[in-house]
């Protein structure tokens, strides 16, 4: 089953806000609905956002009232993952050729992500086996499985490939506050695949690494900067610091569509702040209490062992360049 696809003239996607309680497919016929789905994280994860953006332009091309403004709303629905704006721009570049050309481009974005997932899984599994020893116990953060892509996934795709090879120890899924992409979505995917896993609260990761319970950290990215800085779900930086302190590999698996040579370093990236309500619902918040809720953080390149894409392995620990 694909997380997101074009079906009979509309976008269909799994509503990730309903998981793991319910597997529901939403059918989306307008860009307004799609923007709302992106903003409430019904569809999320960098590769899936790229496909959503491109398919959204295909929707806009069929109702060509003020397409430029519609495209802009899509492109800016969430600011941090480079895939969204990239998918939108790629499909929008075909607008002068008409709606069929836009759809063809959007489907190409989808198909490239599907192909990239399989290649990353194989390369990522090879590298994890090489760096983390036999049957490694791996910690992952957020959700980087099929739900974050179209099929397969990025970091979780590599973990699942190790499992298929009967070469995986176990997985620690970091819960990923505040929306629990780890505890809800990664846990759901690992459970369906029959992978042995436990969920850990975000703050436990570095301690469990220090106590010798983790052989490597593997996770995804929302943007990889030209200098190798990695932008990913809030909590990633703490795991990278923990991995460095414990002397274990910190591996990022992401498609080339997440590599952004136009962004020099992490300080240039707009980090989405999702507001106080997600952290402290107003019904349970004492008067006058506010919250800061950055959805992503920046892991400096010097803490990253390697980046794996569908085409290459970049060993930042050996001073290789993105
Ligand atoms: O806010 P989200 O759930 O869209 O954040 C997703 C992440 O940070 C993922 O780790 C990243 O997009 C990689 S997905 C393969």
296 CA → ligand 1 middle, Å: 9
Say how many Å lie between the CA of residue 63 and the centre of ligand 1: 30
Q: Which domain holds residue 209?
A: 120-318
User: Same domain, yes or no, for 224 and 168?
Assistant: yes
Looking at residue 309, its pLDDT comes to 98
Separation of CA 178 and ligand 1 centre (Å)? 13
In this prediction, residue 90 has a pLDDT band, given cuts at 50, 70 and 90, of very high
> Is 287 assigned a catalytic role?
no
Residue 145 and residue 32 share a domain: no
pLDDT grade, residue 1 (50/70/90)?
Answer: confident
Tell whether 127 and 81 lie within a shared domain: no
The whole-number pLDDT of residue 300 equals 98
Asked if 88 and 160 sit in the same domain, the reply is no
Return d(Cα 54, Cα 92) in angstroms, integer: 8
**Angle, CA of 259, 262 and 267, to the nearest 5°:** 90
| pLDDT band with cut points at 50, 70 and 90 for residue 174 | very high
Average pLDDT, the chain: 97
Confidence of residue 208 (pLDDT cuts 50, 70, 90): very high
Q: Are residues 169 and 271 in the same domain?
A: yes
Q: Tell me, yes or no, whether 177 and 305 share the same domain.
A: yes
| pLDDT level of residue 88 (50, 70, 90 thresholds) | very high
CA of 48 relative to ligand 1 center, distance in Å: 9
- Residue ending a domain, among 64, 79, 112, is 112
Segment among 1-15, 55-69, 106-120 with least mean pLDDT: 55-69
| CB count in 10 Å sphere of residue 311 | 13
Select from 81, 141, 152 the residue to mutate for testing ligand 1; criterion: most ligand atoms less than 8 Å from CB: 81
E-assigned strand segments in 109-203: 137-141, 170-174, 197-200
Given this model, what pLDDT does residue 8 score?
Answer: 98
Closest-lying ligand 1 atom to the alpha carbon of residue 149: 15
Please tell me the pTM assigned to this model.
Answer: 0.98
- Pocket around ligand 1: residues whose beta carbon is below 6 Å from it? 41, 44-47, 81, 142, 144, 148-149, 153-154, 181, 219-222, 232-233, 295
Instruction: Answer yes or no: is pLDDT of 170 > 90.
Output: yes
Q: How confident is the model at residue 114 (pLDDT cuts 50, 70, 90)?
A: very high
Which of 80, 86, 141, 233 has most ligand 1 atoms within 8 Å of its beta carbon, as the pocket-test mutant?
Answer: 233
pLDDT tens digits, one per residue of 222-269: 999 999 999 999 999 999 999 999 999 999 999 999 999 999 999 999
- Cα–Cα distance measured from residue 62 to residue 84, given in angstroms and rounded to the nearest whole number: 20
Could you tell me where the beta strands, DSSP code E, fall in the chain? 4-7, 10-14, 25-28, 137-141, 170-174, 197-200, 216-219, 223-225, 230-233, 250-253, 259-260, 296-299, 306-308, 313-314
Atom 8 of ligand 1, residue of closest alpha carbon: 233
pLDDT on residue 169 = 98
Q: Which one from 5, 202, 215, 222 is the annotated catalytic residue?
A: 222
pLDDT for the residue 173: 98
Q: Is the confidence at residue 219, as pLDDT, over 80?
A: yes
Q: What is the pLDDT of residue 50?
A: 98
Domain boundary residue, one of 112, 147, 166 = 112
pLDDT of residue 63: 84
Q: Specify the CATH number for the domain of residue 90.
A: 1.20.120.420
CATH of the domain at 240: 3.40.50.10470
Total count of domains within the chain: 2
**220 alpha carbon to ligand 1 midpoint, in Å?**
7
Q: Which atom from ligand 1 is nearest to the alpha carbon of 220?
A: 13
Residues 272 and 145 in one domain: yes
Q: Predicted confidence band at 317 (pLDDT cuts at 50, 70, 90)?
A: very high
pLDDT reading at 64 higher than 80: no
Name the residue of 41, 45, 145, 173 whose CB sits within 8 Å of the most ligand 1 atoms, as the mutation to test its pocket. Answer: 45
The angle, 0 to 180 degrees and rounded to 10, between the axes of the packed helices 46-62 and 67-75 is 170
What average pLDDT does this structure show over 156-164?
A: 98
Give the nearest ligand 1 atom to 179 CA: 3
pLDDT of residue 244: 98
CB-count exposure of residue 288 (10 Å: 0-12, 13-18, 19+)? exposed
Least confident of 18-27, 229-238, 284-293: 284-293
Hey, which residues does 11 pair with through a beta bridge? 6, 28
Q: Which 8-state DSSP code applies to residue 102?
A: H
Distance between CA 295 and CA 39 in Å, rounded? 12
Give the Å distance between the CA of 152 and the centre of ligand 1: 14
């Amino acid at each position: 089953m694909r997380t997101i696809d074009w079906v009979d003239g509309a976008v269909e996607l799994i509503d990730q806000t309903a998981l793991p309680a319910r597997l529901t497919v939403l059918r989306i016929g307008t860009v307004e609905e799609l923007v709302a789905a992106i903003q409430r994280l019904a569809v999320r994860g960098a590769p899936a956002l790229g496909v959503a953006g491109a398919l959204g332009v295909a929707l806009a091309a069929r109702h060509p009232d003020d397409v430029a403004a519609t495209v802009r709303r899509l492109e800016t629905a969430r600011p941090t993952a480079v895939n969204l704006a990239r998918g939108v721009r790629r499909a929008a570049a075909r607008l002068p050729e008409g709606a069929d050309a836009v759809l063809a481009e959007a489907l190409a974005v989808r198909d490239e992500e599907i192909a990239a997932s399989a290649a990353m899984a194989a390369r990522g599994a090879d590298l994890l086996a090489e760096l983390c020893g036999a049957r490694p116990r791996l910690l992952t953060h957020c959700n980087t499985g099929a739900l974050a892509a179209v099929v397969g996934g990025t970091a979780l795709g590599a973990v699942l490939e190790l499992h298929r090879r009967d070469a995986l120890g176990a997985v620690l899924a970091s819960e990923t506050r505040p929306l629990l992409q780890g505890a809800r979505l990664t846990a759901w995917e690992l459970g369906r695949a029959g992978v042995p896993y436990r969920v850990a609260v975000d703050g436990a990761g570095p301690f469990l690494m220090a106590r010798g319970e983790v052989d490597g950290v593997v996770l995804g990215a929302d943007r990889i900067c030209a200098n190798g800085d990695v932008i990913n779900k809030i909590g990633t930086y703490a795991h990278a610091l923990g991995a460095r302190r414990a002397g274990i590999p910190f591996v990022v698996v992401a498609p080339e569509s997440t590599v952004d040579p136009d962004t020099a370093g992490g300080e240039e990236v707009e980090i989405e702040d999702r507001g106080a309500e997600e952290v402290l619902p107003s019904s349970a918040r004492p008067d006058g209490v506010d919250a800061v809720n950055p959805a992503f953080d920046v892991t400096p390149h010097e803490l990253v062992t390697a980046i794996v894409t569908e085409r290459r392995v970049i060993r930042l620990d050996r001073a290789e360049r993105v």
